[in-house]
Structure 1
Amino acid sequence: MLDAAEIEQVLVVTAHPDDVDFGAAGTVALFTGRGVKVTYCVVTDGDAGGFDRELDNSGMAELRRGEQRTAAKAVGVDDVRFLGYSDGTVVQTLDLRRDIARVIRQVRPDLLITHSPERNYRFIAPSHPDHRAVGGAALDAVYPDARNPYAFPELFKDEGLEAWTVREVWLTGGPTPNHYVDITDTIDRKLAALHSHASQVSHVEDFESFVRSRFGEAALAAGYGEDRYAEAFQTVTTA
């Protein structure tokens, strides 16, 4: 794994607004707290989510983009990019790989965080089909697309984007985590980020207790003990 001192730029690629906050906002807050630059790339606008039937898809998309920007600020992120794909219909296409590779070459991250492309049968919620498609496309964009100067040559010829090698990927929501981050010191910032997504969580009774319980269990799995919180990842070395 990369040493903490080697991580200066992080790119988080997710399917929907709120995905990063459920999966990794505590870790993101730790990164930004020590001066790491973090960029969010959100593939859809979340237009098929939420519970307000008075909003059409465009209205929901606008609302959720705003919620994600507010949530990002809660953990020290000010660079949030949306690719504009349709919520609920994402598939692992060459176009999606190119669009993620473009952002990788623009941002030039040391570490990329994204969804696991594997289905998790122990806990199905992270295995939304959009998540798995985005995770698979992001991994393909990391290897081989972004690092290969001959892949998507228009990115260099038309946009001047040089090839870039992401050295490590952390996957969220998968069935085989092998790396835990203690987020006890940033759990309140994670909760603030999650509460920013009112269209998604305001209806959940005792939401804060649910979050604390879920990430408290991760801390126990990591061996951190009681009254601690952790986020879980599977690490992939790519260099």
Structure 2
Amino acid sequence: MSHLALLPPDVSVWLFVLLAVVSFFTSGMTAAMGLGGGVALLAVMASVLPPAALIPVHGVIQLGSNVGRAVVQRRYVVWTLVLPFVIGSLIGAFVGGQTVVTLPGWLLKSVVGLFVLYATWAPKLKLGDLKPAAFGLGGAIATFLTMFVGASGPFVGALLAPKPIDRLQMVGTFAVCMTLQHGLKILAFGLLGFAFAPWIGLIAAMVATGFLGTLAGTRLLHRLPEATFRLAFKWLMTVLAAELLISTAWSLL
């Protein structure tokens, strides 16, 4: 098989390599800091991939990133929280899947750009300790959102943060919730007719480099002082989001 057969439509060899490298570093970011990598990867992919492919392809890559953490931390998962989250997520995936296919590409890119700005600069959500039913509602909202913006990790983290669970339980439960959420999203897009096959080569490469990034993340990212890193990250995300919004506006003129 020619190496060109591994390339999705409109993806050059250089872009293929760039996205694989970006997956390495964004996975390392998540491994070192808990959150942020999914949003960063989404911002980069939104700048170079067709809008119709952005959310489903990003979802498969994020699924690969979260499965490893979920397996490693499985003994710490608080399953009494996962169950209502899954029930809510089923509802959110169904409703979101029916809606997202009707959105024009320019609107989807605009939503992603605004979401990246919000996730980068807005104060972290501080939700109260939700009861199981309300946690299920949070799962529905989070999964509905991820059908449009791809990276709902900050919202799910806000749902879990007030819970009286220790750090290991939070990491494990978060990984399982995100794994299930991305899995449902992929299923929804598959049922709605999205063709994943042309993207398998890119997805496999990005999942593989993402796993390597997870292993190497702490060593790579702790070379910078955390305050410096966070400031640089915020401005990088701002530039990427601004580019998305400006290019979308320009295309409408």
TM-score with structure 1 length normalisation? 0.29
Question: Quick check: which one's strand share is greater?
Answer: 1
Question: Quick check: which one's helix share is greater?
Answer: 2
Higher relative contact order, structure no. (Cα contacts within 8 Å, ≥ 6 residues apart): 2
TM-score with structure 2 length normalisation? 0.28
